[in-house]
Chain A
Amino acid sequence: MTRNSYIFGIGGTGARIVRALTMMLAAGTKVKDTGKIVPIIIDVDAKNADTARTLQALGKYKYIRERGYGPSEEIRDGFFNANLNTLSSIKTAQNSSEKLDDSFQLQFENLEKSFIQYLDPNDELVGDINMDLLEALYDNTPPDHADFHESELHLRLDQGFKGNPNIGSVVFNNLANTDEFKFVLKSIGEHDRIFIISSIFGGTGSSGFPQLVRLLQHEEKLRPNIFGALTVMPYFNVTDNSASAINSDRFNSKTEAALAYYHKYLKGRINCFYQLWDQPLRQYENKEGGMEQRNSAHLLELIGATAVIDFINKPDGAFKPKGQTEYLDFGIKKEDQVIDIRHFYDATARNVMYPLTLLTYAMKMHLDVIPKHRNEAFYKELDLESKWTNDLFYQTLSDFFKNHYCEWLEEMSTNERSFQPFNLKQDLNGLVREKAVPVSRIMGMITDGGISDSFLRKELGKAEDELKKTYPEPEERFFRLLHTISAKCFSKLDSLPTMI
Chain B
Amino acid sequence: MTTLPYIFRKYKGFNPNEIKCWSPSSGIDPTGFDPEDIAVSRSSSKAGTSIPSPFARLELFDTAFNIIASDRGNLEGTSIYHQLVSDCLDVFQLLFNSKNTDIGFGKKLWFKEWKAGENIEKLKAKGEAHPHNLLARSLEQIFGDKETDRFSDTDSIFLIFYENKLLGGTSPFTLFFTSPNWSRFLKDRLISPHPGTSDGVPFFSDEYRPLHRRDPEFVDYVCKLATQYRYGFTKASSFSKYVNKTIREIEKKESGYQYKFLDYQDAARMPIDGEYDWLKTNLDGKFLMVNEVFFFQQKEEKEKIKIRRVSDFLISTTNTTYQKQVNHQNEPVTVEAPLVLVEGMNIPGDYIEAGVPWNSSTKIPDFLHRGVPLYERKLPLGNTGSEIKYPFVTVSDFLEDYLIEMPFNINAGKFFTGFNGDFKYLLPVKKEYFNFFKLEELKTQLSITMQDGVVSVDLRVPIQNRRAVRDIVFSKKYSKAAKTIVECRAGLGIYPFYQVTGSDPKLTGLNDYTVLLAERNEKQKLDALRFFSYQNFASDAHALSATVQERSTAADIGSGNSTSSSLFFRIRSLFDYMEISYTDNSFIESTGLIIPDFTGRVFSSENLTRAFTFAIDFGTSNTHLAFMQNGEALPKPFTITEADQQMVLLNAPGADQDPVTKFGFYGQFPAIDLTIRREFVPPVILQGKNAISAPFKTATCEIANFNNVEKSSVSLFSHINIGYYIDQEEKNLDGKTAANINYTTNLKWLLENNNDDSNKSRVRLFLTQLLTHIRAKALLNLGKPADLKVVWSVPLSMERGNKAALKAILRDAFKEVFGESGAQLFDPVPESVAPYFFLIKSDADIQETANVVNVDIGGGTTDVMMFMEAAGNREDRYMTTSFRFAGSDIWGNGYKSKLKDNGFIKNYQVYQKNNNINPTELKYFMKAVDDANLNADDIISLLFKYDNFRFADSIVMGNPDLLIVLYLHYAAIVYHLAQLIEIRDYPLPRYLSFTGKGSQYIRLLCGGDPAELEAFTKSLIRAYTSKTLQSSFRIHLNANPKEITANGSILYALSSDEEKGRYNENIDFVHPGFATDSELGARLASRENPFLIGETVKIDSAVNVAVLENLNSFLTKTLANNEIVRFLRDFKVNGLKEALAALAWNRDIYNGEGLIYDSYKKVLQDLHKQDKETTLPESLFFYALKDALYRLSKTINDSKS
Given contact pairs A165-B56, A210-B52, A275-B9, A257 touches B166 in the complex (Cβ within 8 A)? no
Question: What residues of chain B lie closer than 8 Å to A277, measured between beta carbons?
Answer: 8-10
Within 8 A of B (CB), among A254-301: 254-261, 263-265, 267-269, 273-278, 300
CB atoms of B8 and A264 under 8 A apart: no
Residues B181 and A330 in contact, CB atoms below 8 Å apart: no
Q: How far is the CA of A348 from the CA of B57 in the complex (A)?
A: 40
| Chain A min CB distance to B87 (Å) | 13
Residues of B within 8 A of A263 (CB): 27-30
Residue A442 at the chain B interface, CB threshold 8 Å: no
B9 touches A133 (CB 8 A): no
- Please indicate the chain A residues that have their CB under 8 angstroms from the CB of B145 in the complex: 265
Q: Which residues of B contact A125 (CB under 8 A)?
A: 132
B7 to A130, Cβ gap below 8 A? no
Task: Assess the B39–A249 pair: CB atoms within 8 A.
Answer: yes
Most chain-B CB neighbours within 10 Å: which of A263, A331, A499?
A331
Residues of A within 8 A of B78 (CB): none
Q: Roughly how many angstroms separate A210 CA and B39 CA in the complex, as a whole number?
A: 26
- Given contacts A118-B131, A147-B184, A150-B43, whether A500 and B1 have CB atoms under 8 Å apart is yes
Q: Identify which of residues 113-129 in chain A touch chain B, using a CB-to-CB cut-off of 8 Å.
A: 118-121, 124-125, 129
Q: Flag if B51 contacts A135 (CB, 8 Å).
A: no
A307/B22 contact (C-beta < 8 A), A133-B114, A173-B137, A334-B6 known: yes
Instruction: For the complex formed, measure the closest distance between the CB of B9 and the CB atoms of chain A, giving whole angstroms.
Output: 5
Chain B contacts of A169 at CB under 8 A?
52-54, 56, 138
Interface mask (A237-265 → B, CB under 8 Å = 1, otherwise 0): 00000000000011011111111110111
Residue A439 at the B interface, CB < 8 A?
no
Shortest beta-carbon distance from A14 to chain B in Å: 14
When distances are taken between beta carbons in the complex, the residues of chain A under 8 Å from B37 are 252
Q: Is the CB of B47 within 8 A of A136?
A: no
Interface pick from A66-74, A137-145, A184-192, A423-431: A137-145
Q: How far is the CB of A249 from chain B (nearest CB, A)?
A: 5
* Residue A132 at the chain B interface, CB threshold 8 Å: yes
Q: Which residue of A lies closest to B169 (CB)?
A: A136
Quick one: closest A residue to B2, CB to CB?
Answer: A334
Q: Quick one: CB contact mask for B121-134 with A, threshold 8 Å, 1 for yes?
A: 01100100001101
Q: Give chain A nearest CB distance to B234 CB in angstroms.
A: 15
Across the interface, which residues of A come within 8 angstroms of B134, CB to CB? Answer: 118-119, 170-171, 173-174
A150 to B37, CA, bound (A): 22
Residue B815 is within 8 A (CB to CB) of chain A in the complex: no
Q: Which of B58-66, B223-231, B449-457, B881-889 is found at the contact surface with chain A? A: B58-66
Are the C-beta atoms of A345 and B21 separated by less than 8 Å?
yes
> In this assembly, does B837 line the interface, its C-beta being within 8 Å of a C-beta of chain A?
no
Contact between A260 and B141, CB atoms less than 8 A apart: no
Instruction: Please tell me if A211 contacts chain B, counting CB pairs below 8 Å.
Output: yes
* Given contact pairs A118-B131, A150-B184, A259-B30, A167 touches B49 in the complex (Cβ within 8 A): yes
Contact of A139 among B30, B54, B181 (CB under 8 A): B181
Q: Are B52 and A345 in contact (CB under 8 A)?
A: no
CB closest chain-A residue, reference B170: A136
Q: Residue on B with the closest CB to A254?
A: B50
- Is B5 on the interface with A (CB-CB < 8 A)? yes
Residues from chain A with a CB closer than 8 A to the CB of B6 are: 331-335, 343
Main secondary structure of the interface of B (DSSP, over half): mixed
Find out whether the CB atom of A130 lies under 8 angstroms from the CB atom of B123: yes
Q: Which residues of B contact A326 (CB under 8 A)?
A: 24
Q: Does B713 reach chain A (CB closer than 8 Å)?
A: no
User: Are B8 and A330 in contact (CB-based, < 8 A)?
Assistant: yes
List A contacts of B20 (CB < 8 A): 331, 345-347
- With A173-B134, A329-B25: A253-B80 Cβ-Cβ less than 8 Å: yes
The interface size bin for chain B is: 35 or more
Given A120-B132, A130-B135, A335-B6; A348-B21 close (CB under 8 Å): yes
B52: A residues at CB distance < 8 A? 165-166, 168-169, 172, 206-211, 258, 261
* CB of A384 closer than 8 Å to a CB of B: no
Please report which residues of chain B, range 798-813, place their CB below 8 angstroms from some CB of chain A when the two chains form the complex.
none
Given contacts A254-B47, A277-B9, contact A133 B157 (CB under 8 A): yes
Docked pose: A330 CA to B147 CA in angstroms: 29
**A355 part of interface (Cβ distance < 8 Å):** no
Number of A-B contacts (CB under 8 A): 269
Also in contact, A300 and B8, with CB within 8 A (given A173-B134, A214-B141, A327-B25):
yes
Contact A173 B49, beta carbon cutoff 8 Å? no
Bound-state CA distance A246–B169 (Å) is 27
Residues on the B chain within 8 Å of A500, using CB: 1
Q: Is A331 within 8 A of B169, CB to CB?
A: no
Interface residue? B23 (CB, 8 A):
yes
Q: In whole Å, how far is A43's beta carbon from the nearest beta carbon of chain B?
A: 15
Q: Is there an interface contact between B7 and A331, defined as CB atoms closer than 8 Å?
A: yes
Check: B48 CB closer than 8 A to any chain A CB. Answer: yes
How far, in Å, is B277 (CB) from chain A's closest CB? 26
Tell me whether A253 and B38 are in contact (CB under 8 A).
yes
Q: Is the CB of A333 within 8 A of B39?
A: no
Contact with A along B149-175 (1 / 0, CB 8 A): 010000001010000001011000000
Asked if B8 and A329 sit within 8 Å, CB to CB, the answer is yes
Assess the B181–A141 pair: CB atoms within 8 A: yes
User: Chain B nearest CB: distance from A171 CB in Å?
Assistant: 8
A170 partner residues in chain B, CB cutoff 8 A: 54, 134-135, 138
Q: A260-B30, A331-B19 are in contact. Are A137 and B55 (CB under 8 A)?
A: yes
Residue in A141, A252, A257, A335 whose beta carbon sits within 8 Å of that of B60 in the complex: A257
Q: Type the 1/0 row for B166-192, where 1 means its CB is closer than 8 Å to any CB of A.
A: 101100000001011100100100000
Max chain A C-beta neighbours (<10 A), residue from B9, B66, B112: B9
Q: Give A221 Cβ to nearest chain B Cβ, in Å.
A: 17
Contacts of B72 in A (CB 8 A): none
Q: Which of B30, B53, B150 makes the CB contact (< 8 A) with A166? A: B53
> A141-B181, A165-B52, A260-B63 are known contacts. Are A132 and B14 too (CB-CB below 8 A)?
no
Verify A257–B48 contact, CB threshold 8 A: yes
Given known contacts A136-B179, A249-B44, A334 and B30 CB-to-CB distance under 8 angstroms: no
With contacts A277-B9, A335-B6 taken as known, whether A165 is within 8 angstroms of B41 at the C-beta atoms is no
The answer to whether A335 and B49 touch across the interface, beta carbons within 8 angstroms, is no
- Residues of chain B contacted by A434 (CB below 8 angstroms): none
B50–A140 touching, CB < 8 Å: no
Q: Is B33 an interface residue (CB 8 A)?
A: yes
For the complex, what is the distance from the CA of A169 to the CA of B49, rounded to whole Å?
10
Q: Which residues of A contact B56 (CB under 8 A)?
A: 137, 165-166, 169, 257, 261
Supposing A137-B55, A137-B57, A165-B51 touch, asked if A344 and B166 sit within 8 A by C-beta, the answer is no
Are B27's CB and A120's CB within 8 A? no
Q: Which residues in chain A, 95-125, are within 8 Å of chain B measured between CB atoms?
A: 118-121, 124-125
Instruction: Report the Cα distance A325→B27, complex, angstroms.
Output: 8
B1068 to nearest A CB, angstroms? 104
What are the residues of chain A within 8 A of B28 when measuring CB–CB? 259, 263, 275, 327
Query: Would you give the shortest CB distance from B40 to chain A, in whole angstroms?
Result: 10
User: Is A119's CB under 8 angstroms from B131's CB?
Assistant: yes
Q: Chain B: which residue is nearest A270 at the CB level?
A: B27
Q: What separation, in Å, do the CA atoms of A83 and B56 have in the docked complex?
A: 39
As a 0/1 sequence over residues 290 to 328 of chain A, the CB contacts with chain B under 8 angstroms (1 = contact) are 000000000010010011001000000000000001111
Of all chain A residues, which has the CB nearest B6? Answer: A335
Known: A132-B166, A138-B180. A257 touches B50 (CB 8 A): yes
B66 close to A260 (CB less than 8 A): yes
Q: Could you tell me if B23 and A258 are in contact, using CB atoms closer than 8 angstroms?
A: no
Contact present for A257 and B63 (CB under 8 Å): yes
Q: With contacts A265-B147, A332-B5, A348-B21 known, what are 10 further pairs, Cβ within 8 A?
A: A136-B169, A147-B43, A260-B67, A273-B27, A276-B9, A300-B8, A328-B24, A329-B7, A331-B16, A345-B21
Q: List 29 A-B contacts (CB under 8 A).
A: A118-B131, A121-B131, A139-B184, A141-B181, A147-B184, A152-B180, A163-B49, A166-B51, A209-B52, A214-B141, A250-B39, A252-B38, A253-B38, A256-B33, A257-B60, A261-B56, A265-B145, A267-B27, A275-B28, A278-B8, A303-B8, A306-B21, A310-B21, A330-B23, A331-B5, A334-B3, A334-B4, A345-B21, A500-B1
